[in-house]
Amino acid sequence: MINKIALAGCGNVGTALLEILHEKRNILKNKYNFVFEVTMVTDIIKGTIADPNGLDLGKILEALHEKNSLKNFKQKEGTFDEILLYSNATMLAEATPTNLKTGEPGLSFIRTALKNGISATMTNKGPIAIAMNELMALAKENDAQLKYEGVIMSGTPLINMISSGMTGCDIIKAEGILNGTTNFILTEMSEGMNFDEALATAQALGYAETDPTGDIEGWDPAVKIAILAKILYGIDINVNDVEREGITHITAEMIDKAKAEKSKIKLIASIHRDCNGEIHAKVAPTKISRSHPLASVDGITNAITLTSDNLGETTLIGAGAGRKETGQALLTDLIAMAK
Ligand code: HSE
């Protein structure tokens, strides 16, 4: 069976997915029996193209690399719903920018896909943070699948690890560094760069959100913690209920002082269930000793330690952001959905 992929959002992550698919087409077929065509690519700025028989990925990538646009191809007119159905897509990869207030446009795109029995994966945190229950129900009703490996720690397989590798474990606590941009900024500041320069570098490297306030004020890791609350404990936490403090008030002096005390300042995100069964969720800059397991996690890297009944402490360290790293999350979900 040929899996027909529609891509919504062709920025850094969407383009990286297309690159990986193109580069690995044969490996994906031979090793994973994953045969595919990309039948739709839509991006609010770059244009919309669709062909139910499959688009030419080589030419698309050439246009993206040379002109950063798809406007040279014949544009497909119509609404997202019409074009998605025209494309005969069997799966949607959703990588539009995160909007934590409305979830749009990703939320509507995913609703449309699921209502039509088209499975969806997303790296966009908005839809899953706002409407996880609704989307899960919609997927079930329509016999479609919903996956979101990339919303936490990009392609580092935290969600897969929890949902399959740790099946049966009761996870009491999760604590980690879940935002690459702020970890990068704190690391660079400790090397002498100022806050604004470090943020600009994180933006240029494609790590920061389109609106970086989400990163530096801690909204991004707070959303990730709210998503973890659902995955780990099946409870709905509003992002506003996560105790949250960002890093905008952290100064070079504070970092130097921590250094002198053989410590580091890290933006730690945590969630745990206390002995009364109450859930506590928090994101805050925290001074940790250099010997703390999270102290050596620098730059864009993320890490999380899960404390569970059967395994004790399990720590996962890996990429937390990045175009290829997040494209990998979409890829792994697409292949899982095909299976
Ligand atoms: N802006 C996010 C980060 C991207 O820096 O971690 C990955 O969710």
Q: Which of 153, 158, 179, 223 best tests ligand 1's pocket when mutated (most atoms within 8 Å of CB)?
A: 179
Query: What average pLDDT does this structure show over 14-29?
Result: 98
Q: Is any atom of ligand 1 closer than 6 Å to the C-beta of 207?
A: yes
What pLDDT, in 10s, does the model give residues 86-130?
A: 999 999 999 999 888 899 999 999 999 999 999 999 999 999 999
Return the ligand 1 atom nearest residue 125 CA: 8
What pLDDT, in 10s, does the model give residues 243-302?
A: 999 999 999 999 999 999 999 999 999 999 999 999 999 999 999 999 998 999 999 999
Residue 190 has pLDDT above 90, yes or no: yes
% of the chain surpassing 90 pLDDT: 95
Q: Is any atom of ligand 1 closer than 6 Å to the C-beta of 221?
A: no
Question: pTM of the entire structure?
Answer: 0.93
What pLDDT, in 10s, does the model give residues 167-185?
A: 999 999 999 999 999 999 9
Q: Catalytic residues, which ones?
A: 224
- Tell me, letter by letter, the H, E, C secondary structure of the chain: CCEEEEEECCCHHHHHHHHHHHHCHHHHHHHHCCCEEEEEEEECCCEEEECCCCCCHHHHHHHHHHHCCCCCCCCCCCCHHHHHHHCCCCEEEECCCCCCCCCCCHHHHHHHHHHCCCEEEECCHHHHHHHHHHHHHHHHHCCCCEECHHHCCCCCCHHHHHHHHCCCCCEEEEEEECCHHHHHHHHHHHCCCCHHHHHHHHHHCCCCCCCCHHHHCCHHHHHHHHHHHHHHHCCCCCHHHCEECCCCCCCHHHHHHHHHCCEEEEEEEEEEECCCCCEEEEEEEEEEECCCCCCCCCCCEEEEEEEECCCEEEEEEEECCCHHHHHHHHHHHHHHHHC
Instruction: Give the chain's mean pLDDT.
Output: 96
Return the ligand 1 atom nearest residue 208 CA: 1
Confidence of residue 206 (pLDDT cuts 50, 70, 90): confident
